[in-house]
């Protein structure tokens, strides 16, 4: 399922084999909650070079419904996306006032945004939903305590997370579908280690690291990552869920993480933030009104090859949907290219210098201490 090829300065390059094809690691997944993004979709993901995307199992099970997706050959064929499709539980518990009702011993109680009805997503139910949706990689259900939870709450959520992970594993019958578990434990190094070691013993196809990028201070996030990855099996992919800011992705790769998903690049693109190797900038600024250059010098994306900043900034200022699509297409290509470049650097064992030069470019020479080790 996963082959580790090279390691350089803690960063890993490998190949994840799914029934939808191989995905080279490290990789970044655009989020396609309902089988698409907002103003970007499967075609754009493919054009950007993304080989995997993340959908929401709970929401897809409500619309168009499990039977519909199943009848059309699974979520990947339903979407017409050539790459691998991951599905998340849909819980993202503490983060969603819309969907999340509560967590109980049985599972996570989720509310339909369509009719308000509440269903209990148990481990067995979630596994069935994802198997029938036909995603290429499924996630277990986990209990994520809020960023400011007490140690007691973390302990309780960890018991649920571990029990549910085991039950998901037991219920999972589709051996062609990968199954990832999720490490929790808050920001306490010992709890994270405990969670990672426990789950490592259950032998999943991949290991998610959850509870990060939910509003906690960055040092906490990196403590959580640093105290998780060392205790996970080397021959399985590690997936830092929800992380997607370029420097965070680079830093996490240096800590041994292999994959990511996040709305960060696309949401920020919609909000006019353009990623470049020299750092992000706000496209709507007047200084770009007559700028004939591309969004990013040297970028190989179709947007940069076809359009000027002046045109893109114009689309921002008139608030056109087309502008959102183009900005997102660029940021998605930026992420894919970043992953490709990291992989190449790992393969030639020059990752540390790649990381340093990337961070120097991104932060304009003033790299925050947080990223230096």
Partner RNA sequence: GCCCUGGUAGUGUAGUGGCCUAUCAUGAAGCCCUGUCGAGGCUUCGACCCGGGUUCAAAUCCCGGCCAGGGCG
- Catalytic residue status for 170: no
Q: Is 277 helix (H, G, I), strand (E, B) or coil?
A: coil
Return the H-helix or E-strand segment holding 100. strand 100-103
The active-site residue, picked from 44, 88, 143, 248, is: 88
Closest listed residue to residue 92, CA positions, set 299, 268, 242, 282: 242
Helix ranges (DSSP H) in 88-236: 123-133, 151-171, 189-200, 218-226
Among 136, 143, 258, 261, the active-site one is 261
Distances (CA, A) of 287 to 189, 276, 277, 313: 46, 17, 19, 9
List CB contacts of 285: < 8 A, sequence separation 6 or more. Answer: 313
Round to whole Å and give the CA distance between 356 and 347: 17
> CB-based contacts of 152: which residues, under 8 Å, 6+ apart?
none
Instruction: Sort residue 261 into left (φ over 0), alpha (ψ -120 to 50) or beta.
Output: beta
Binding site for RNA (CB under 7 A): 30-34, 37-40, 54, 56, 59, 88-92, 95-99, 139, 142, 144, 182, 184, 208, 210-215, 218, 241-245, 248, 261-264, 266-268, 270-273, 282, 284-287, 317, 319, 321, 324
Q: How far is the CB of 243 from RNA (least distance, A)?
A: 4
Q: DSSP string covering 203-219, please?
A: --SEEEE-S-SSS--HH
DSSP 3-state assignment of 274?
Answer: strand
The minimum distance between CB 130 and RNA, in angstroms, equals: 12
Specify whether 261 is catalytic: yes
Alpha helices in 228-349 (DSSP H): 246-254, 264-270, 302-306, 309-317, 321-347
* Angle between helix 246-254 and 218-226 (nearest 10): 30
Distance of CA 286 to the CA centre of its chain: 33
Q: Coil, strand or helix: which one is 373?
A: coil
**Structure tokens given for 318:** 């008139």
List the catalytic residues.
88, 261
């Amino acid at each position: 399922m996963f082959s580790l090829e090279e390691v350089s300065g803690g960063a890993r390059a490998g190949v994840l084999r799914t029934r939808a094809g191989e995905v080279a690691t490290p990789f970044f997944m655009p989020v396609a909650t309902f089988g698409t993004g907002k103003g970007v979709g499967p075609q754009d993901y493919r054009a950007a070079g993304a080989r995997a995307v993340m959908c929401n199992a709970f929401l897809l099970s409500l619309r168009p419904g499990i039977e519909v997706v199943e009848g059309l050959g699974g979520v990947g064929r339903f979407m017409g996306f050539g790459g691998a499709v991951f599905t998340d539980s849909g819980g993202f518990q503490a983060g969603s006032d819309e969907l999340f009702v509560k967590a109980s011993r049985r599972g996570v109680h989720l509310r339909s945004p369509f009719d308000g009805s509440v269903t209990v997503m148990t481990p067995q139910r979630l596994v069935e939903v994802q198997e029938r949706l036909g995603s290429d990689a499924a996630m277990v259900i986990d209990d994520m305590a809020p960023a400011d939870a007490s140690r007691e709450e973390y302990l309780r959520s960890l018991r649920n997370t571990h029990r549910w992970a085991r039950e998901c594993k037991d219920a999972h019958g589709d051996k062609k579908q990968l199954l990832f578990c999720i490490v929790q434990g808050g920001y306490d190094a010992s709890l994270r280690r405990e969670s990672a070691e426990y789950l490592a013993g259950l032998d999943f196809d991949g290991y998610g690291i959850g509870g990060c990028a939910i509003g906690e201070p960055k040092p906490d996030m990196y403590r959580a990552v640093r105290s998780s990855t060392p205790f996970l099996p080397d021959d399985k992919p590690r997936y830092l869920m929800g992380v997607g800011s370029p420097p965070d992705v680079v830093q996490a790769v240096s800590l041994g993480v292999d994959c990511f998903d996040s709305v960060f690049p696309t949401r920020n693109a919609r909000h006019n933030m353009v990623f470049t190797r020299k750092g992000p900038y706000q496209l709507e600024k007047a200084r770009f009104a007559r700028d004939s250059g591309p969004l990013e010098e040297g970028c190989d994306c179709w947007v940069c090859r076809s359009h000027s900043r002046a045109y893109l900034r114009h689309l921002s200022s008139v608030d056109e949907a087309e502008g959102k699509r183009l900005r997102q297409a660029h940021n998605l290509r930026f992420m894919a290219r970043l992953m490709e470049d990291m992989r190449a650097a790992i393969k030639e064992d020059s990752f540390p210098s790649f990381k340093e030069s990337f961070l120097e470019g991104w932060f304009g020479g003033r790299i925050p201490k947080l990223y230096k080790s």
